[in-house]
């Protein structure tokens, strides 16, 4: 086979504030010939995620920063084109962390086989992928149970809508906040949320108090900032917080001061637990069984926004910070 020409997105400069197209380049490369124990994969869908913004800074965190002049990485679903390893054969569908590129070569240990009968295959970046797993882990982390009143921010985003649907399946009363009327409608009518409100139109705490006059038991935090502050006020005694994400601050050059009402942690004996989904990969098969079961039974919807073409991946990524996605933002490769 002649060598494969692949296009990939590289980070060429580190963003200050909101990333711009100039921080990235679409670069053509030629893959090396396939060696023993290697597999050639063509990506079908790639994921763009808010956490990637943190990796664009030159700062140590729980994952290393992206390198300049190198392809970015991230979640992807692809099809095996050629295999020199017995574990995979052409036509197999796999997930990997080799996103932001059209083709790649990997070892079998870097690939995870998925069922190609499950459609659309982008679901492996959404409810059946890391997104769904983050929602599932978050609910387990603070033992969300029937009867709990749970408030979820970023509710119409990838993790938020799954967390809400799973909480409904557990028998909770579910409240969500999102940034447009259309998203609020989707949460109520398609995802079964009991209440959803637009955090941009009226004060968050006012809307939360209207939705839950006696307070909330759990806050699933995807956004931080003012919404976290409102939730701290609305939580009941012994309430729990899942600290999943804080997108409202990801583009800040200087971190914002914390909530002014943090004393609620003490006064109400609250618990706040942080989560990094990759710590939980040993529970992946349990997640796949439970959440895959809900999906196959039609009890869980995969909400997504699909953008087509690797040349639109950067726009799709930047669009996350402007609320351009409903559900999981995925890029379909031609
Ligand atoms: P989303 O799909 O929710 O991300 C984009 C959405 O965030 C937008 O559509 C927008 O919705 C909302 N948003 C953007 N800017 C703001 C802002 N300033 N204030 C409030 N909302 C904003 O992403 P994910 O579901 O993938 O991730 C959700 C959160 O969870 C993120 O913070 C992410 O980093 C985190 N995460 C954490 C993981 C972990 O292991 N801890 C794993 C995966 C994700 P709107 O229109 O409603 O404003």
Q: Taking the chain (334 residues) in consecutive chunks of 10 residues, what is each chunk's mean pLDDT?
A: 90 97 97 96 98 94 93 97 97 98 98 95 97 98 98 98 98 98 98 98 98 98 98 98 97 92 98 97 96 96 98 98 98 94
Which atom belonging to ligand 1 lies closest to the Cα atom of 156?
47
Q: Are strands 76-83 and 39-47 parallel, antiparallel or unpaired?
A: antiparallel
* 112 CB burial (10 A radius; 0-12, 13-18, 19+): middle
Cα(188)–Cα(164) distance, rounded to whole angstroms?
10
Residue to mutate, 46, 246, 247, 319, ligand 1, most ligand atoms under 8 Å from C-beta: 247
| Residue 3 confidence (pLDDT) | 84
Nearest Cα neighbor of 85 from 37, 135, 31, 22 is 37
User: Which CATH class name applies to 5-126+303-332?
Assistant: alpha beta
Give residue 129 CA to ligand 1 midpoint distance, Å: 16
| Residue 1 confidence (pLDDT) | 62
The token pair at 159 is 């993790």
Cβ(218)–Cβ(153) below 8 Å: no
The domain limits of the chain are: 5-126+303-332, 130-278
Rounded to a whole number of angstroms, the distance between the first and last alpha carbons of the chain is: 21
Pocket of ligand 1 (CB under 6 A): 49-51, 131, 134, 154, 156-160, 178-180, 183, 222-223, 244-248, 275-277, 320-321, 323, 325, 329
Cβ(148)–Cβ(164) below 8 Å: no
Same fold? 5-126+303-332, 130-278: no
The token pair at 99 is 């996103």
Give residue 24 CA to ligand 1 midpoint distance, Å: 21
Helices 225-234 & 204-211 angle (0-180, nearest 10) = 40
Cα(253)–Cα(255) distance, rounded to whole angstroms?
7
Give residue 63 CA to ligand 1 midpoint distance, Å: 18
Give residue 257 CA to ligand 1 midpoint distance, Å: 20
Q: Which fold has domain 130-278?
A: Rossmann fold (3.40.50)
- Which whole-number Å values give the CA distances from 253 to 256, 313, 322, in the listed order? 9, 24, 17
Give residue 37 CA to ligand 1 midpoint distance, Å: 37
Cα(48)–Cα(309) distance, rounded to whole angstroms?
13
Nearest Cα neighbor of 246 from 216, 215, 218, 274 is 274
138 HSE (CA, 13 A, CB side): 31
């Amino acid at each position: 086979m002649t060598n494969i020409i692949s296009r990939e997105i590289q980070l060429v400069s580190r963003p200050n504030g909101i990333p711009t197209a100039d921080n990235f380049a679409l670069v053509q490369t030629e893959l090396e010939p396939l060696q023993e124990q290697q597999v050639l994969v063509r990506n079908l869908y790639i994921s763009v995620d808010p956490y990637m913004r943190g990796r664009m800074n030159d700062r140590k965190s729980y994952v290393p920063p992206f390198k300049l002049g190198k392809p970015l990485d991230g979640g992807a679903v692809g099809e095996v084109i050629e295999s020199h390893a017995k574990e995979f054969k052409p036509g197999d569908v796999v997930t990997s962390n080799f996103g932001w590129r059209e083709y790649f070569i990997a070892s079998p240990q870097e690939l995870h086989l998925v069922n190609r009968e499950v459609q659309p295959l982008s679901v492996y970046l959404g409810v059946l992928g890391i997104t769904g797993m983050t929602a599932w882990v978050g609910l387990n982390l603070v033992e969300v149970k029937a009867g709990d009143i749970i408030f979820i921010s970023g509710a119409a985003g990838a993790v938020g809508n799954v967390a809400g649907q799973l909480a409904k399946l557990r028998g909770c009363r579910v409240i969500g906040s999102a940034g447009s009327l259309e998203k609020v409608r989707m949460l109520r009518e398609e995802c079964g949320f009991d209440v959803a409100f637009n955090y941009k139109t009226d004060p968050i705490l006012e809307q939360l108090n209207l939705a839950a006059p006696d307070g909330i038991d759990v806050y699933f935090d995807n956004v931080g900032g003012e919404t976290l502050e409102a939730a701290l006020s609305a939580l009941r005694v012994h309430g729990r917080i899942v600290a999943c994400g804080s997108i409202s601050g990801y583009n800040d050059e200087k971190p914002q001061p914390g909530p002014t009402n943090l004393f609620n942690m003490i006064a109400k004996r609250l618990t706040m637990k942080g989560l990094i989904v990759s710590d939980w990969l040993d529970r992946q098969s349990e997640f796949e069984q439970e959440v895959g079961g809900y999906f196959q039974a039609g009890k869980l919807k995969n909400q997504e926004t699909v953008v087509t073409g690797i040349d639109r991946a950067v726009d799709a990524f930047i669009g996350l910070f402007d609320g351009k996605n409903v559900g999981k933002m995925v890029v379909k490769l031609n």
